[in-house]
């Protein structure tokens, strides 16, 4: 890799970090992708176990995680395209839950 | 499938500005425990000025999760909670001003509000003798919404440049999640603005509004530099 492309990649990493940080700070993390708007509110610190599921598909344009309560839609979490575009057959989608910056293995404690 | 027994807080965003709503806070402070309060650059700036700190100092002392999540004490209380209630009340974050409501803007730009689950022993009193708009106005949310919209625009411009980098074959990934998000030095308003003013021989900002203006200009200047280093986009077919 030459010097110019190394610089570009380093700047791209900085930009990706900035996108993640600003997106989270502004509430875009909760409702997800850049195509949607932010969500703001004092969220309860509830956690559940991480689950590991293998998904197989050739190409996706959009990936959403939706929560329903008693059959009624409550929340939608869109996975940013910068993440889901890397999905390939056989890759895994892992949901992890954190509290105070630490991975939680037992949600009921 | 979610584990059995999981309790996910349910928020249905079905309220508008004109929807009937009233809430009287009786300062029991029970809502100041066990919450994840996300803060953006403007909120960090206001909190820092309230405490007589720079944003660099406040981020180090009171914020975690890569610079976006307020710290909590070992008992789960907010880092700013005192024996007499909120220690930064005039400059409390937007999430605290909205409470017990949450706010969502969907892909079409529609703004909705929803009830957050109250603490079981809350001393707050709910009512319907007002509107969501009345309540929010009393909470002083206007500058937070206005500055938030400006930062949302900046975020969209960041994403656009990142997309162009990806189209050019440069790939970069970063996770966005409170508690594990990577820190970005651009979140630090005072440090970013100081460097920007130093490089351009500008006077330092005298007000919060000037600091926000310069912060957004500094990040935009970086983005423009990145964008101009990329090959020109091919003409549309």
| Residue A62 in contact with partner chain B when CB distance is under 8 A | no
A44 DSSP β-pair partners:
B35
- Which chain B residues are within 8 Å of A22, Cβ to Cβ? 40-41, 151, 154-155, 158, 184, 186-187
The helix/strand/coil state of B23 is strand
- Note the pLDDT tens digit of each residue in B125-157: 999 999 999 999 999 999 999 999 999 999 999
What pLDDT score was predicted for residue A80? Answer: 74
Q: Which of A40, A47, A107 to mutate to test the interface with B (most CBs of B within 10 A)?
A: A40
Where in chain B does DSSP place strands (E)? 13-15, 20-24, 35-36, 63-64, 69-70, 81-82, 85-86, 101-105, 111-115, 125-131
CA distance A51 to A99: 16
Q: What is the pLDDT of residue B177?
A: 40
Could you tell me which residue, B105 or B170, shows the higher pLDDT?
A: B105
Q: Are B67 and B61 in contact (CB under 8 A)?
A: no
Q: Which of A16, A35, A102 minimises the CB distance to B162?
A: A16
**What pLDDT is recorded for position A53?**
34
Nearest CA of chain A to the CA of B52: how many Å? Answer: 22
Task: Find the CB nearest B96 among A15, A42, A86.
Answer: A42
**A105 close to B (CB below 8 A):** no
Cα gap B2→A49, rounded to integer Å: 8
Lowest mean per-residue pLDDT among B20-29, B102-111, B157-166, B181-190: B181-190
- Closest chain A CA to residue B154: A22
Provide the mean pLDDT of chain B. Answer: 88
Q: For residue range A13-41, what is the model confidence (pLDDT) as tens digits?
A: 888 889 888 988 888 754 334 445 667 76
Higher-pLDDT residue of B108, B178: B108
pLDDT surpassing 50 at residue B36: yes
CA neighbor of A15 nearest in space, from B109, B227, B65, B99: B227
B158 in contact with A, Cβ within 8 Å: yes
- Cα-flanking dihedrals φ and ψ of residue A29, to 5°? -65, -35
User: Over the stretch B37-51, which tens digit does the pLDDT of each residue have?
Assistant: 999 999 999 999 999
List pLDDT tens digits, range B7-25: 556 678 899 999 999 999 9
Q: Are strands A39-40 and B35-36 parallel, antiparallel or unpaired?
A: unpaired
Instruction: State ipTM.
Output: 0.87
Structure tokens given for B172: 């970069």
pLDDT score, position B109: 83
Check pLDDT > 50 for residue B182: no
Q: Which of B37, B184, B225, B231 to mutate to test the interface with A (most CBs of A within 10 A)?
A: B184
| Interval A54-85: pLDDT, tens | 333 345 667 777 777 777 777 777 777 777 77
For the stretch B53-85, pLDDT in tens is 999 999 999 998 888 889 999 899 999 999 999
Contact status, residue B13 vs residue A72, Cβ threshold 8 Å: no
CA-CA distance, B159 to B181, in Å (whole number)? 16
How confident is residue B181, by pLDDT bands cut at 50, 70 and 90?
A: very low
DSSP output for B39-53: --HHHHHHHHHHHT-
Q: What confidence tier does A90 reach under pLDDT thresholds 50, 70, 90?
A: low
């Amino acid at each position: 890799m030459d010097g110019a492309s190394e610089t570009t990649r380093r700047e791209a990493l900085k930009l990706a970090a900035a996108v993640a940080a600003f997106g989270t700070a502004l509430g875009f993390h909760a409702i997800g992708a850049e195509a949607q708007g932010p969500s703001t509110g004092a969220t309860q610190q509830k956690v559940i176990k991480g689950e590991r599921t293998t998904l197989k598909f050739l190409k996706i344009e959009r990936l959403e995680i939706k929560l329903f309560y008693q059959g009624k839609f409550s929340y939608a979490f869109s996975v940013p395209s910068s993440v889901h575009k890397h999905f390939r057959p056989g890759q895994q989608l892992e949901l992890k839950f954190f509290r105070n910056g630490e991975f939680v293995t037992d949600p009921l404690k | 499938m979610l584990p059995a027994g999981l309790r996910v807080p349910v928020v249905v965003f079905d309220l508008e500005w004109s929807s009937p709503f009233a809430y009287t806070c009786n300062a029991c402070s029970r809502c100041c425990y066990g919450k994840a309060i996300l803060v953006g650059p403007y909120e960090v700036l206001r909190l820092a000025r309230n405490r007589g700190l720079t944003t660099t100092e406040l981020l180090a002392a009171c914020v975690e999760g890569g610079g976006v999540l307020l710290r909590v004490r070992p008992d789960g209380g907010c880092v700013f909670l005192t024996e007499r209630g909120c220690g930064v009340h005039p400059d409390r974050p937007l999430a605290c001003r909205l409470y017990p409501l949450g706010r969502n803007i969907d892909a079409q730009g529609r703004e909705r509000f929803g009830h957050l689950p109250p603490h079981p022993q809350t001393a707050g009193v709910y009512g319907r003798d007002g509107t969501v708009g009345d309540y929010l106005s009393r909470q002083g949310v206007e500058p937070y919404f206005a500055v938030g919209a400006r930062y949302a625009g900046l975020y969209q411009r960041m994403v656009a440049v990142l997309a162009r980098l990806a189209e050019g074959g440069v790939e970069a990934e970063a996770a966005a999640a409170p508690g594990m998000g990577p820190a970005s030095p651009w979140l630090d308003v005072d440090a970013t603005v100081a460097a920007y003013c130093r490089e351009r021989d500008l006077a330092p900002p005298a007000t919060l509004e000037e600091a926000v203006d310069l912060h957004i200009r500094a990040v935009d200047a970086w983005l423009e530099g990145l964008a101009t280093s990329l090959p020109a986009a091919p003409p549309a077919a």
